[in-house]
Structure 1
Amino acid sequence: MNKKIKKIPLIQKTSKTFLWIGLVLMLGSTVVLYYYLRVVLQAEVEEELRSTESRIEKSIEEGGMDYQLPPVAEVVKVDKLDMEILKDTLIYDPSQNELEEFRELSTFSSINGQNYRITVRALVVESENILLAVVLSYLAIILVVFIFLFYLNKSRNQKVWHPFFRNLEQMKSFSLTSETPIELMDSDILEFSELNDEMTTLTNKVRADYKNLKQYTEDVSHEMQTPLAIIQAKIENVINGEMLEDTQYEQLTSIQKDIQRLTQMTKRLTLLTKIENNQFLKKEKLDISRQLKKNIQDFSEISTISIDFEICESIWVDMDSFLAQVLCSNLISNAIKYSTGHKNILVNAQNGKVTIANAGEKAIRHPEMLYSRFYRESDGAKSTGLGLAIVKRICDLYGFTISYHFEAGMHHFTVSFIE
């Protein structure tokens, strides 16, 4: 099973990408700048130390006094020359009365026949403060620039993508049944302009195809009713006539039932098409419990199966009254057709739900197929296979939910009218 991908708005997606890339670049450049400046400042300190050391050597060569300024500079006579030493060290600074970190350069030179160890030091704290000040200043400037660019980029993206979002809203409100042409916002972006042309062409074609299909369905349904009614009437005349053998009578009766089934199927297919095309826009507040009671009374007059109806409360809904009658009628008709044994059909209305239960030998093998067109669990029942499909489409139209379960030898269909 594929994992569901979390959906986020386009502007948020692009802004989030810009945000992360900007933050990574900002932090990365800050780290690079820090180490680069640290190397530069360290090189400057070492250059200053060597310059000071050179001046001290020159002063000694010219016969000046030994230069002493602890802890900044120290000159000590030694017995032998040694290797140059460059290191960091902690030295007590009397002026600050604390240990301070110094960069120390110790060189050995032979001047006027005497060996000297010349040690010069530079305070590292000052260079670290300069480094920190530069990095913080850079970080503050980059942060301000980043925030400015972020909001500039976001506002620019919103402006660039505005025609797309506007047209998307137009597509969401597009209706096949509406005669109002879709109004798309033009854009100076080539791809958006091409998309508008394609959407306009597509919507016009879909609307034209829908009208043609709707007209074809209505014409076929209307035109079929007349010849079917004529055939039905002629068969009735033949059946009621004289000199009809038993075999002929049975065949004509079977033909008559098939014609009735075909007529019913045509009407239901037309109704199903109208429901799916949202042609029932009229709504009124009505009581489903009362509608069920009316339908049960009608079926009780023509059915040999008893129906027990328990009304615990009124269930008020906003829907088309004709579809409410069709919904209740199809549920009861389905229960009557597929009921087995001698148990009564049970109808219950309470807690915003209607449950209709009929006797059955076993649970339905494929309950997920119950609401498909022309689906029948077996060929025994002579039905169109459209009753529950119509019920499901009506429920989908108004946001109701229908469910099925088998319990204690009874098929239960439950329609919930509450969200």
Structure 2
Amino acid sequence: MKLFTAYNRVLLITSAIGLLIIGYLFYLTLSNYLNKQLDSYLSEELLEVKDYTAKKESFPAHQLFEDLVIEYRHISSLGKKRHFGDTIFYNAKKRLEESGRYLEEDVVLAGQSYRIKIIASKVAHSEQITSIFMVIILPVLGLLIVLLVLNRYMMKRTWLPFRQLLLNLKSFNLNQEQGFAQVPTTIAEFKELNDAIVDISQRIKSDYREIKLFTENAAHEMMTPIAVINAKLDMMLQSEDLSEVQSQNLIDLYKTTAKLTKLNQSLLLLVKIDNNLLRDREQLNLKTMLLEKQHYFQEFTQQKGIEVNLELQDHTLLMSRYLADILLDNLIGNAIRHNHKGGRIDIRLNEEALWVGNTGHGEALAETEAFKRFYKSPSSEGMGLGLAIVKQIVELHQFGIAYSYRAGLHAFTVFFNNNNSTSLLNENS
């Protein structure tokens, strides 16, 4: 939930509850006030009834009191004191039932005890209450609506610098020369936040440039001594004066140096991918490239007796050819390297995804760890950078990738539309 929505929701709920409570209390107070006026009027009418009876020595006729209903009931003795209350009565003049207010009291009339009940209509008073209530509440409600609309407008206008700051943060790129843009604002808190972000971004860019330069220089500088070591080892291996033990030691050194060379190349490649230095992109037909890779790896698959099953559809992607080659080499190369003799490799390509599955000796990889750098299964002799490079290439092109293990097959799926990754993974599994 957005901050504006949360704030406006709390404000709206609080205002609505407050308005309901105030409206109820106002209506109750107004009703009590008008009831007291009506009770005073009924008390005066009772006095007039008593005076009329004392002077005329007879009960007053009902028609003399047009807006009242007067009832007399003979009782044996006085007992009921004056009592006011609300009731529903039949108005003979209007020929309908309506709400009313009554006064009931035991009195002595013409020397006899009677219980008199005087009922007055509340319709006029109810209309008066409604009119007063509407006159007061409707303007308050209108004012509340105006305040909510004004508050929403002011909040949006006030938070515009924050939105711009957030937009600048999202678009901030370390590889761009342009620094973090200042956002003009008169609000002290946003100005302070803006200054802090600008300062942090400048320090990050400075540190990033130093680390990037160091990594590139270190990788390039390592190439020369590694090449010299390889050349010297080649010369020593060609010598005829070496013993068997010395030859084996040199072979081990040569293999170790080869691993070091590959490690250096992999780390340099990761640096280039991380820094988005490989920007050459073109429309590539993956089906054609996969067929070429099948031919390229054919000798290796035949040596291990691996059955390769292809199910390819034509699909074109905008990618770096160099990175696409590395992506396919790593996926297919891993499928061969970690397979067993007489195993199987299945490769499927359609418009949504590329799926590479293979049999293997090892158990399932940890799905959350498989693409981390230097992670490898216990049976692997590699350096644990192949899948990390694959993931970096995939993320650079805004694709998705996932690993799964089903029915004895280690499967890697590259999703060309990352939003459909979950459903496609279930289908391929």
TM over 0.5: yes
* SS in structure 2 of the partner of residue 122 of structure 1: strand
Tell me, in whole angstroms, the C-alpha distance in 2 between the residues paired with 1:309 and 1:121. 99
Structure 1 partner of 2:34: 41
Contact 1:330 1:387 in 2 (8 A): yes
Q: Which of 125, 135, 141 lines up with 2:133 in the alignment?
A: 135
Structure 2 partner of 1:84: 81
- Map 1:98-113 to 2 at 5 A: 98-108=96-106
Structure 2 gap ranges (5+): 421-429
Number of residue pairs aligned between Structure 1 and Structure 2? 411
Structure 2 partner of 1:284: 282
- Map 1:16-95 to 2 at 5 A: 16-57=9-50, 67-70=60-63, 72=68, 81-86=78-83, 87-95=85-93
Tell me, in whole angstroms, the C-alpha distance in 2 between the residues paired with 1:263 and 1:416. 31
Which residue identity does 1:24 align to in structure 2? I
Contact 1:75 1:116 in 2 (8 A): no
- Map 1:371-386 to 2 at 5 A: 371-378=371-378, 380-386=379-385
Structure 2 partner of 1:3: none
Q: Which of 172, 176, 179 lines up with 1:178 in the alignment?
A: 176
Shift of 1:365: 4.7
Which residue identity does 1:280 align to in structure 2? L
Structure 1 partner of 2:412: 413
Give CA deviations for 1:65-123 in whole Å, capped at 9, x if unaligned. Answer: 86544562759798864433424444443321234443222445569988776654321
Question: Does structure 1 residue 150 correspond to structure 2 residue 148?
Answer: yes
Shift of 1:157: 0.5
* SS in structure 2 of the partner of residue 369 of structure 1: coil
Which residue identity does 2:314 align to in structure 1? S
Change (3 A) 1:117 1:178: same
Structure 2 partner of 1:206: 204
Tell me, in whole angstroms, the C-alpha distance in 1 between the residues paired with 2:209 and 2:106. 103
Tell me, in whole angstroms, the C-alpha distance in 1 between the residues paired with 2:262 and 2:13. 63
Question: Does structure 1 residue 12 correspond to structure 2 residue 5?
Answer: yes
Tell me, in whole angstroms, the C-alpha distance in 1 between the residues paired with 2:100 and 2:251. 116
Question: Does structure 1 residue 339 correspond to structure 2 residue 336?
Answer: no
* SS in structure 1 of the partner of residue 297 of structure 2: helix
Deviates more, 1:139-148 or 1:16-25: 139-148
Tell me, in whole angstroms, the C-alpha distance in 1 between the residues paired with 2:149 and 2:52. 62
Change (3 A) 1:166 1:353: closer
Shift of 1:21: 1.4
Tell me, in whole angstroms, the C-alpha distance in 2 between the residues paired with 1:17 and 1:252. 76
Deviates more, 1:345-354 or 1:29-38: 345-354
Tell me, in whole angstroms, the C-alpha distance in 1 between the residues paired with 2:71 and 2:401. 100
Structure 1 partner of 2:323: 323
Change (3 A) 1:351 1:193: closer
Contact 1:305 1:345 in 2 (8 A): no
Q: What is the aligned-residue RMSD (CA, Å)?
A: 3.0
- Map 1:155-166 to 2 at 5 A: 155-166=153-164
Which residue identity does 2:371 align to in structure 1? Y
Change (3 A) 1:388 1:89: closer
Tell me, in whole angstroms, the C-alpha distance in 1 between the residues paired with 2:313 and 2:71. 108
* SS in structure 2 of the partner of residue 105 of structure 1: strand
Change (3 A) 1:231 1:73: closer
Change (3 A) 1:348 1:106: closer
Tell me, in whole angstroms, the C-alpha distance in 1 between the residues paired with 2:246 and 2:296. 33
Tell me, in whole angstroms, the C-alpha distance in 1 between the residues paired with 2:405 and 2:92. 95
Tell me, in whole angstroms, the C-alpha distance in 2 between the residues paired with 1:409 and 1:222. 42
Shift of 1:253: 1.0
Give CA deviations for 1:321-345 in whole Å, capped at 9, x if unaligned. Answer: 1111110111122122212223354
Give CA deviations for 1:236-281 in whole Å, capped at 9, x if unaligned. Answer: 1111123111111111111111111111111111212222333334
Contact 1:268 1:386 in 2 (8 A): yes
Shift of 1:38: 1.7
Contact 1:90 1:99 in 2 (8 A): yes
Which residue identity does 1:171 align to in structure 2? L
Tell me, in whole angstroms, the C-alpha distance in 2 between the residues paired with 1:297 and 1:269. 28
Percent identity reads 27
Contact 2:300 2:336 in 1 (8 A): no
Deviates more, 1:68-77 or 1:120-129: 68-77
What is the TM-score of this pair, normalised by structure 1?
0.87
Shift of 1:206: 1.3
Structure 2 partner of 1:4: none
Choose between structure 1 and 2 for higher RCO, CA contacts under 8 A separated by at least 6 residues: 1
- Map 1:230-245 to 2 at 5 A: 230-245=228-243
Contact 1:403 1:413 in 2 (8 A): yes
Which residue identity does 1:317 align to in structure 2? L
Tell me, in whole angstroms, the C-alpha distance in 2 between the residues paired with 1:330 and 1:364. 18
Structure 2 partner of 1:356: 356
Contact 1:67 1:73 in 2 (8 A): no
Structure 2 partner of 1:195: 193
Give CA deviations for 1:117-136 in whole Å, capped at 9, x if unaligned. Answer: 66543212222222233334
Change (3 A) 1:355 1:79: closer
Structure 2 partner of 1:370: 370
Contact 1:60 1:66 in 2 (8 A): yes
Structure 2 partner of 1:399: 398
* SS in structure 1 of the partner of residue 314 of structure 2: coil
Q: Which of 257, 260, 263 lines up with 2:258 in the alignment?
A: 260
Change (3 A) 1:205 1:59: same
